[in-house]
Amino acid sequence: MLNVTSRLKFYKLRYASHPNEFNEYAVVRWDTDQSLSANSEAISVIRSLEKEKSVETVATQLHLKQGNVLDIARLCLDAGYIESIDNYPIEDTHPKIKPWLTGIDRHWFSWILNKPLLFITYIFIVSGIYLTLSHPHYLPTYNDFFWTNDYFYVLLFSEIIAIAVLLIHEFAHFFVTKAVGGEARMRIDNRYLDLVAETDQYHLALIPKVYRYFVYGAGMYTDLFIIATIMWVYQISQLFNFQLGFIGNLLPVIVLIEIMGIVWQFSAFLETDLYNILCAYWSQDNLYIDTKHFLSLRISHWHNPGIVWLKRFFLRTIFQMKFFSEANDLRYFTHKERRQFLTYGIFYVAGILFNTLLFIFVSIPLTILFLKGGITSLWWAARTLNLIEIVKSLLILFILMYSDMLLLGILIRKLKKHESIV
């Protein structure tokens, strides 16, 4: 169907204005984020074909062989860039992206990356870290989390703070993505047995690597800024001798939740911010899937009778071949890249095992303990017909259960669609 006289109609494409580290230019399909990289000559061919010129016309105008132009056209066809050939529609199987605020121009966000502003915030964060190290009593302890004996208020305000901190973290990713020229949207998903909010970034293939570090690090940078701000609030209140009152009870909780969030980011096996930074550093955009594919092939060669059961378990659960449709052909990777897969793979398997044990022996017992307390409080409140305590007990149970119910719903939905949950 595709030949030298064919005229192609393309979907909307975006082109990189600067070459990447391999001296190639990226091009993405706007509504699917499907990307490819090519040299400047190939990009010129794609731009010409996009104007619905035939292959032979483009070859003549650019002084290229028709066969070479035809190969580039086939590459675009495989990437899903072509909507129709000679007005004959092409079946489109690529999932569509749904970014937010696409109608708002980039310049409304670009001030975020203003160099003087970045320098000032960086100095502010460093000064906050210095305050923390020079005044270790500013750091909260576990007991600061329980600032009152009423568990209802402890759970209520900690949940409000956690949601607020999470939204600020994700909006930082969202706004910086828009600032560098990408697109983004936020959603709720699971990372194995963790319920998370995450920001999906699109069109980052067009963005120079250094700006991708800004995108991936924006959340943790904002977390550190918030901690530094609280450290300075402590310092100023101490210098001018004024009491923080009720807010002073909540500030340690904010710091604790921020620190736990930053520590969680180092769980790179869960595709966290640190994972994305690692992908950019290694230039491995598909590290997670390719690593799982690499490990599945290694595991399939286990023939020791003592571990055959483990081999079957892995290949039937987290390393099922049906999950690797988007994996790259490992034969084309270098020895260095395969060592990267092995390094991340060891970290991935160890993290999954640790996370599973943590969920079984810590998360479940703690949830049961709080549920027992909530149900007991509800029982006594019901017996005494104390309406206020009944409402508080019901809210405690809701706060304890709603995130688990959301997680369970996501896991069930993925299992019904035969998607991987690990």
Kindly report, residue by residue over 112-155, the tens digit of the pLDDT: 999 999 999 999 999 999 999 999 999 998 888 888 888 788 88
Helix (H, G, I), strand (E, B) or coil at 37: strand
Tell me, letter by letter, the H, E, C secondary structure of 153-204.
Answer: HHHHHHHHHHHHHHHHHHHHHHHHHHHHCCEEEEEEEEECCEEEEEEEEECH
Q: What angle do CA 317, 323, 329 make, to 5 degrees?
A: 125
Q: Supply the pLDDT for residue 407.
A: 79
What average pLDDT does this structure show over 262-285?
A: 86
Does 422 have pLDDT greater than 70? Answer: no
Rounded-to-integer distance, Cα 205 and Cα 33, Å: 9
Rounded-to-integer distance, Cα 300 and Cα 335, Å: 20
- Token pair 């056209």 is found at 73
Does 27 have pLDDT greater than 70? Answer: yes
Q: What tokens appear for 381 in the block?
A: 């409140």
β-strand pairing of 183-191 with 194-202: antiparallel
CB-side neighbour CA atoms (13 Å) of 346: 5
Name the maximum alpha-carbon separation found in the chain.
90
| pTM for this entry | 0.87
Rounded-to-integer distance, Cα 183 and Cα 381, Å: 50
Does 397 have pLDDT greater than 80? Answer: yes
Does 237 have pLDDT greater than 70? Answer: yes
Estimate the share of the chain in helix, then strand, then coil, as percent rounded to the nearest 5.
Answer: 65, 10, 25
Q: Supply the pLDDT for residue 190.
A: 75
Among 236-240, 262-266, 370-374, the minimum mean pLDDT is found in 370-374
Rounded-to-integer distance, Cα 277 and Cα 297, Å: 26
What is the share, in percent, of the chain residues with pLDDT greater than 90?
45
Burial state string for 231-259 with b = 16 or more CB within 10 A and e = fewer than 16: beebbeeeeeeeeeeeeeebbbbbbbbbe
Q: What is the pLDDT of residues 241-254, one digit of tens each?
A: 888 989 999 999 99
The alpha-helical segments, DSSP class H, found in 265-386 are: 273-282, 287-299, 308-316, 335-358, 364-383
- Token pair 């670009």 is found at 110
Q: Supply the pLDDT for residue 250.
A: 94
Question: What does R_g of the chain's alpha carbons equal in angstroms?
Answer: 26
* 8-state DSSP, 359: I
Q: What is the pLDDT of residues 77-98, one digit of tens each?
A: 999 999 999 989 999 988 999 9
Residues listed for the chain: 422
Q: Supply the pLDDT for residue 232.
A: 96
Number of other residues whose CB lies within 10 A of the CB of residue 303: 8
Torsion sign across C-alpha atoms 247, 401, 184, 344: positive
Does 217 have pLDDT greater than 90? Answer: yes
Rounded-to-integer distance, Cα 212 and Cα 35, Å: 16
Q: Supply the pLDDT for residue 150.
A: 81
Helix (H, G, I), strand (E, B) or coil at 83: strand
- Token pair 């949950």 is found at 421
Q: What is the pLDDT of residues 195-214, one digit of tens each?
A: 788 999 999 999 999 999 99
Residue bearing the bigger pLDDT, 316 or 32: 32
Does 15 have pLDDT greater than 90? Answer: yes
Rounded-to-integer distance, Cα 219 and Cα 217, Å: 6
CB-side neighbour CA atoms (13 Å) of 231: 24
Does 181 have pLDDT greater than 90? Answer: yes
Q: Supply the pLDDT for residue 84.
A: 92
Q: Supply the pLDDT for residue 417.
A: 72
Chain centroid offset of residue 313 CA: 28
β-strand pairing of 25-29 with 183-191: unpaired
Task: For the domain covering 8-89, report its CATH number.
Answer: 1.10.10
**Cβ–Cβ under 8 Å, residues 326 and 286:** yes
- Token pair 């600061």 is found at 144
Rounded-to-integer distance, Cα 138 and Cα 255, Å: 10
Torsion sign across C-alpha atoms 225, 229, 235, 239: positive
**269 closest CA partner among 351, 355, 207:** 351
Domain ranges across the chain? 8-89, 106-282, 297-416
What average pLDDT does this structure show over 349-368?
A: 81
